[in-house]
Copies of this chain bind each other. A is one copy, B any other.
Amino acid sequence: MLRDQVKQVAEGQRKLAALSHEEKNRILRSMIAVLQRERQSVAEAQRLDIEAAQQQGISSPLLKRLVLDQEKLDGLCRGIEDLVNLKDPVGRILTSRELDTGLELYQVSCPIGVIGMVFESRPDALVQIASLCLKSGNGIVLKGGSEALHTNRELFRLIRMAAEESGAGSDWIFLLESRDDVTAMLALDDLIDLLIPRGSNSFVKYMMDNTAIPVLGHADGICHLYIDDEADIIEAVSICIDAKCQYPAVCNALETLLVHSGIASAVLPPLSSALREQGVEIRGDQRVQDAVACAPADEEDWSTEYLDLILSIKVVDSMQEAIDHIHRYGSGHTDGIITKNRSRAEQFMETVDSAGVFWNCSTRFADGYRYGLGAEVGISTRKVHARGPVGLEGLVTYKWKLYGSGHIAADYSGDNPKQFTHREL
């Protein structure tokens, strides 16, 4: 039964949590060694999955995501090596305070517990998330795409082997193989502490809507740029082209552009030419249509994440109108302003309630690697726990350790009570 298996993961996690940083790193290095040593068996599992996929005639982008060749495997191993070099996210002292003489309080980072991760076709995600969970001392219940069944099974076997060889036990990781197990997992809110779904918007939304377990992730990424009437036009065009075209299929790509009416006639013609050169289809409101040749945007365009070479553009009469539009249609992912006016930029960044608020740069920088987080667990548009690109700190919480020497609460109440010192240590 799934419940019993997840309980076993929880027990395995407690053993994992007791390991030192050096012991966890030894297992990570062992993972690299095993993945390299057993590359033939990974290739064999890949062959089975890819043959089956081809027989089923799956689409070529899906097939591409399924592939885990030697180059990708080497990249994964380099990623694990990077992780080895990161500081231990666990055991960091966040607060230290003397409450009274001999009574000391420490707020210390610790693993969250058991993470549930469901990802679609890419089997590399299995290795990435397993190594992130290991580094942060968390147990992990995984479910990969059925197209990668054999590869996932093999990677899972190798990770367990590496953990076993290091003497750490491998109960902290468990692989699910059926959809029913995923449904059952969503109900285990007493055993699973955090869910991290990776996949299509509808898939993530489904997870968010069907569980009481906290979810780290994002469904939509409807990113906006607002070109203020005090923007530098050349800079504005360059940033918009980058934000829309550099990689349109990702969540931090630009989807809607808002242009101040005072600069629209100056910026829209050169921008339109540059977008057209990149093969971008423009959908504009009436005033955009008046300025440049484009398709009309309808109400639905403002709330659509195209993930494609399509851009909706709207002319607004004030920054406030732009901000209101972003709050109404945005997804709280990343939204930016282009202006030479610093105080207006500050006001925009203060008021817009998104995980990322950018000034004079491309939305494409919203990324854990670019932010310098070391490793990226995911990007979250949730308001609590972690927001925006999330590094290893998204996999830890904290506990309060209180060291006393016989202290009792009664001494601090009633007549003539002792006073707390509350002195930062």
Contact = CB atoms under 8 A, between A and B. Distances in A.
A321 B13 CA distance: 17
A409 interface: yes
A336 B406 CA distance: 12
Nearest to A210: B212
Given A365-B407, A409-B242, A400 B99 contact: no
A194 interface: yes
A387 B193 CA distance: 13
Contacts of A170: none
A214 B408 contact: no
Contacts of A408: 238-239, 241-243, 246, 361-362, 364
A143 to B, nearest CB: 21
Contact of A400 (B388, B404, B422): B388
A214 B209 CA distance: 12
A263 B365 CA distance: 61
Interface in A341-378: 345, 349-351, 353-362, 364-366, 370-372
Nearest to A216: B384
Among all A-B residue pairs, the 4 with the closest Cβ atoms: A361-B404, A242-B408, A364-B409, A372-B422
A246 B110 CA distance: 31
A193 B235 contact: no
Interface string A229-271: 0001001001101110011000000000000000000000000
A241 B406 CA distance: 12
Contact of A18 (B18, B350, B359, B366): B350
18 contacts: A14-B351, A17-B351, A18-B350, A99-B372, A103-B361, A105-B371, A112-B384, A212-B212, A238-B406, A243-B409, A353-B399, A357-B401, A360-B403, A362-B407, A365-B409, A366-B402, A387-B399, A388-B400
Contacts of A388: 399-400
A206 interface: no
Contacts of A242: 408-410
A208 interface: yes
Interface of A: 14, 17-18, 97, 99, 103, 105, 110, 112-113, 193-194, 208-209, 212, 214, 232, 235, 238-239, 241-243, 246-247, 327, 336, 345, 349-351, 353-362, 364-366, 370-372, 382-385, 387-389, 397-410, 412-413, 420, 422
Nearest to A193: B383
A148 to B, nearest CB: 27
A398 B383 CA distance: 8
Nearest to A103: B361
A377 to B, nearest CB: 13
Contacts of A14: 327, 351, 353
A357 B409 contact: no
Contacts of A97: 371-372
Contacts of A397: 383-384, 387
